[in-house]
Structure 1
Amino acid sequence: MPFDPTELRQIGRTKLKTNLLGLGTVQIGGWPRRLPEEDAVKVLDAAWDAGLRTFDTAPMYGMGMSEERLGRYLAYKPKESFVISTKVGRIVEDDPDNSEPTGDDEFWKGAPPRIYRFDFSYDGVMRSVEHSLERTGLDRFDMLLIHDADDHLDEALGGCYKALDKLRSEGTVSAIGAGMNQNPALARMAAEVDMDVFLLAGRYTLLDHSALTELFPICEKRGTTILIGGVYNSGVLNTPVEGASFDYVPLDENWRANVLDHGVRAPAEHETGEYWLKRAQALRAVCDRHNVPLSTAAIQFSAAHPIVSSIPVGAGRPERFEQNIAALEADIPDDLWAELKHEGLIADAAPVPAETETV
């Protein structure tokens, strides 16, 4: 059964609801290429014109440029008509030693001359939220997420969580949570504090659904729902060829070492570049036999789990976002899912669209 991208799904036990398909704004922040303002507006228009009102951003995206562009776009939209999430854990500030725009820098292309530092303290969170409100021009956010606290977990569970919990209790934010590329740290957070939602990147996809057993059971018990980031695993679930990106680095003989160096997550011993590439290619082979694009199966697989509230997908071109909409609305034969399970490419316990009641 196809999905309705505008379908509203509940965030945790809150009253907040988000569209099944949201717009992630990493590309609007200038990654992986420079994106002129007018092109960013075209992407935002594509989402808005399709009836989608859920947007995810962060101070880190373009050193504040993503928040600024999103804020300018939403300035004349009724606040009650959209849902926006941003993140805490990094303080982004002007760089006093750089008076020129950074241009084509190492990562964020065309970003303003700013620097960032990690800060998961109580005061740091309050300062980060204040800066984000200034950049977006908003008076509140719907969701606030602790961003990439992998190496700062104790501090995040202390001062950072206390600040978010206070903002939630005051009504300044409707839902709080965290966003990471790994399961164990989020599972610890779910067990120790009261989180409404997690943004999980790359760990509940057609290729890697380790969250099914590592994270989701405790989230279901605690009433925490999931936003799925990285639904295409950085690109390999679009085009599974040697050198394709997975966990933000190329799938080659150096993949495992590069993932560890980048601190994305700690892969298991058997997780080599060759292992993941062969698995992705096997997925594509099954999809090809059923005349279904691999990326279409990927986004529908993630959408089928009832714990998933929204899938924020980034886009640097309006037609790319329109492709995501079409992928969710496409008909996929039940036999495809049956064959993927028969081949051991997806877990028997993983819900698939054929088994899921959808709008």
Structure 2
Amino acid sequence: MTQRRAPLPRRPGVQLTRLGLGAATLGNLYTPVSDEAADLTCAAAAEAGIEYVDTAPHYGLGLSERRVARWLSREPGVVVSTKVGRLLEPVDPPYLPDDEGFAIEARFRRVRDYSATGIRRSLESSLERLGIDRLGIVLLHDPDDVEEQAMTESIPALVRLRDEGLVDAIGVGMNQSAMLARFVERTDIDLVMCAGRFTLLEQAALGDLLPAALEHGVGVVAAGVFNSGILAEPRPPDDATYDYFPAPKPLLDKARRVAAVCADFGVSLPAAAVHLPLQHPAVVSVVLGMRSPDEVRADASYVSAEVPDELWAALVREGLLPDTVLGSGA
């Protein structure tokens, strides 16, 4: 079973396991997943002790949430985070393939809406798809271009939903750390999800988000810890991707140097990638995308792997990690 972390700051009714299932894959991200395969993946997650799943309307235009609903019907204690900021509006046929990376027939279109009304509509639709009457966590999804509206309208709307008891914890999910740090400092949120900015190859969050989260008692969920693939295998292949694009050769070379140091300590590169953020006291969980029982078991093994503290010091000595990592708990 995966070890449980302490309750989320200021929202003691919510707890997250160290490992969460990222359910974009269950929405057919890039590759189709059958209903049966999705159910088997969720069952394997339950066996591994995973009790946290992250989804969103964006993921498969509601398909991910509907598949998560079947898991919740069997495992009602699982904590769910979903997202607001994209409404799903029906479209007329003929239906075309989705143009945002999901292998589905697009019967809906995404409409970005960060208004208070849009956020409530999004939450109500998610509750219906998930088959539940309240949510553990709701995150504002990618408000990169609407920071002022998010600060003055979106977050207050989420606070009201939390006050009404429809949500236990609220926050923001983004692929950057600087704006997340501002949300932490200026708004009454409980946690943030930061994708790709605290990894073995990039540590931007160490300079802004993570110190702010510790100061304000806000939990951090680390996502994208494999940087979309380059850190997902013991030795990064030639065709590895970094942030969803082909990895530049200097970055590929660096990842292979990190892998070699990890191997000297008997640690696989993916295990080190998972453990780095978990060493930081602000990080409450790591979310990994999983599309099969085999992937669930592999990801669970990374969390349970023994990673010696000396590994981080060795990576610092080799110039592969900044020395500030050592002060973060690693």
Q: The TM-score by the shorter chain falls in which range?
A: over 0.9
State percent identity of aligned pairs: 38
1:67 aligned residue: 65
Aligned to 2:3, the other structure's residue is in SS state coil
Aligned residue type for 1:177 = G
Counterpart of 2:303 in structure 1 is: 328
**Is 1:142 the counterpart of 2:136 in the alignment?**
yes
- CA 1:106/1:195 → structure 2, altered by over 3 Å: closer, same or farther? closer
Tell me the TM-score normalized by structure 2: 0.93
Aligned pairs (5 A) from 1:266-281 = 273-281=248-256
Show structure 1 runs of 4+ deviating over 3 A: 102-106
- State the secondary structure of the residue aligned to 2:323: coil
- Assess, with a 3 A threshold, how the Cα gap between structure 1 residues 150 and 30 changes in structure 2: closer, same or farther: same
2:229 corresponds in structure 1 to 235
Question: Structure 2 regions of 5+ residues with no counterpart?
Answer: none
- Can you list the C-alpha shifts for 1:189-232, whole angstroms capped at 9, x where unaligned? 11221111000000011211111112111111111110010111
How far does the alpha carbon of each residue in 1:75-127 deviate from its partner, in whole angstroms, 9 at most, with x for none? 2433xx221110000001221x2255x55766211355111011001101011
Moved more, 326-335 or 156-165: 326-335
Match in the other structure for 2:167: 173
- Provide TM-score, normalisation by structure 1: 0.86
The answer to whether the 8 Å contact 1:305/1:351 transfers is no
Code of the aligned partner of 1:322: R
SS in structure 2 at match of 1:142: strand
Name the counterpart of 2:113.
119
Change over 3 Å in CA distance of 1:320–1:223 after alignment to 2? same
The answer for the alignment partner of 2:22 in structure 1 is 24
Relative distance call for 1:50 and 1:283 in structure 2 (3 A) is same
Q: Which structure exhibits the higher relative contact order, with contacts defined as CA atoms closer than 8 Å and separated by 6 or more residues?
A: 1
C-alpha distance in structure 2 between counterparts of 1:87 and 1:221, whole Å: 25
- How many angstroms apart in 1 are the aligned matches of 2:105 and 2:221? 26
Query: Residue 72 of structure 1 aligns to a residue in which SS?
Result: helix
After TM superposition, list the pairs within 5 Å mapping 1:198-347 onto structure 2: 198-239=192-233, 240-251=236-247, 273-347=248-322
Contact 1:89 1:146 in 2 (8 A): yes
Residue 179 of structure 1 aligns with an amino acid whose one-letter code is G
- Distance of 1:185 and 1:352 partners within structure 2: 23
Cα offset, 1:292, TM superposition: 2.0
Gapped runs of 5+ residues in structure 1? 252-272
> Structure 1 residues 301, 106: CA separation in 2 closer, same or farther (over 3 Å shift)?
closer
Tell me the distance in 2 between the aligned counterparts of 1:151 and 1:318.
Answer: 37
SS at match of 1:309: strand
Counterpart code for 1:162: P
> Are 2:8 and 1:14 equivalent residues in the alignment?
no
Report the CA distance between 1:236 and its aligned residue. Answer: 0.5
d(CA) in 2 for partners of 1:76, 1:112: 28
Partner AA of 1:245 in structure 2: T
Alignment pair present for 1:91 and 2:66: no
The alpha-carbon deviation at position 58 of structure 1 amounts to: 0.4
Give RMSD over aligned pairs.
1.9
Cα 1:183–1:106, aligned 2, differ >3 Å: closer, same or farther? closer
SS at match of 1:323: helix
For 1:263, the equivalent position in structure 2 comes to none
CA separation of 1:332/1:187 partners in 2, compared to 1, >3 Å: closer, same or farther?
closer
Deviation, 1:6, is 3.4
Rounded to whole Å, the distance in 1 between the matches of 2:20 and 2:115 is: 29
Residue in 2 that maps onto 1:260: none
Deviates more, 1:128-137 or 1:152-161: 152-161
The alignment of Structure 1 onto Structure 2 pairs a total of residues equal to 327
State the 1:289 CA deviation.
Answer: 2.5
Whether contact under 8 Å (2:19, 2:288) holds in the other structure is yes
Q: Residue 351 of structure 1: CA displacement?
A: 4.7
Partner AA of 2:269 in structure 1:
L
Contact 1:56 1:84 (8 Å CA) reproduced? yes
- Secondary structure (helix, strand or coil) at the match of 1:19 reads coil
| Aligned counterpart, 1:45 | 43
1:140-198 Cα deviation digits (max 9, x unpaired)? 11111000111111111122111101011122111110000101111121122111100
Structure 2 partner of 1:254: none
Aligned partner of 1:256 in structure 2 is: none
Q: Which residue of 2 aligns with 1:35?
A: 33
Q: Indicate conservation of the 8 Å contact 1:29/1:111, yes or no.
A: no
Q: Which amino acid aligns with 2:6?
A: R
